[in-house]
Structure 1
Amino acid sequence: MSHREPHTRTEPNPGTVMGMRGCRAAGECRSERPGHRLHAMQERLAGATASKWVDAIIVEVTEDGFATVAEFASDRVRRVWHHDAFAGAIVPGAPVAVHDVYGVLAHGDRRFSVAPA
């Protein structure tokens, strides 16, 4: 019978859960995982599938990149995350569109990759 070592206690790290493994500064991040830099193909596919955009309004944005989004056409409220906290461009009350398939949040001419939170 083998000897089993107990697991060490883990500390909560919400950034790791959201895909920030190895990322410390948003400006230096080159990751194209959801919620990081918008991949060109992701942006192109989202633009080509216009029927999957959902109009919404920003309810809340936190400094750590979480945004609460309320859809216009339904009672659905969702939370999304972006590594750079939307570069300060998204504020409560801002009209946005969220792509249901490709994880893109649009505000005016700006596009952000988002991860479901």
Structure 2
Amino acid sequence: MTNLTPGVAAVMQCTHAHGESCASSAPGHTLSALQERVAAATPSKWRDGLVSHVSAGGWVGVELLQPNEAGAGETVGGETVWVWSHSDLTASVSPGLPVAVHAIYHTLAVGRERFNVLVAALG
């Protein structure tokens, strides 16, 4: 990711010592209990997608699924959302895996797991 929104690089910095858990609740770091609850309380804001890219640096590309215009109950690929997590998500996500991104509370849902993510770019 080279075209980061201003301020994104600063949010990606973490000051915890190696081996300690991250104490930051900034986007992309630790998921707070409140964030998890408000995301769960607003189910209409989740956007379904398929993982298209994964990097060890924490970047995950999610191709959002849009309803098919024909209305046949099928979905088609739409825009790609790039999210970043301080945690290495390579063990949790892989290309083709269905996930959901919360449109308001910067949360990535992978099955029953939830991750606080930084939404860095659409495109």
Please report the TM-score for the alignment, with normalisation by the length of structure 1.
0.79
Shift of 1:26: 7.2
Structure 1 unaligned spans of 5+: 1-14
Please report the TM-score for the alignment, with normalisation by the length of structure 2.
0.75
* Greater strand proportion: 2
1:53-79 deviation line (CA, Å, top 9, x unaligned):
000000011000000010011621110
> Of residues 61, 64, 67 in structure 1, which corresponds to 2:54?
61
* Greater helix proportion: 1
Question: Aligned residue pairs: how many?
Answer: 103
Percent identity, please. 37
Shift of 1:24: 5.6
Q: Which protein is bigger by CA-based radius of gyration?
A: 1
> Of residues 72, 83, 89 in structure 1, which corresponds to 2:92?
89
What secondary structure is seen at the aligned counterpart in 2 of 1:75?
strand
> Of residues 60, 78, 85 in structure 2, which corresponds to 1:75?
78
Residue of structure 2 in register with 1:12 after alignment: none
Q: Does residue 1:34 correspond to 2:51, yes or no?
A: no
Shift of 1:21: 3.6
Moved over 3 A (4+): 15-18, 23-27
Residue of structure 2 in register with 1:115 after alignment: 118
Structure 2 unaligned spans of 5+: 1-7, 67-76
In 2, Cα distance between equivalents of 1:36 and 1:107: 16
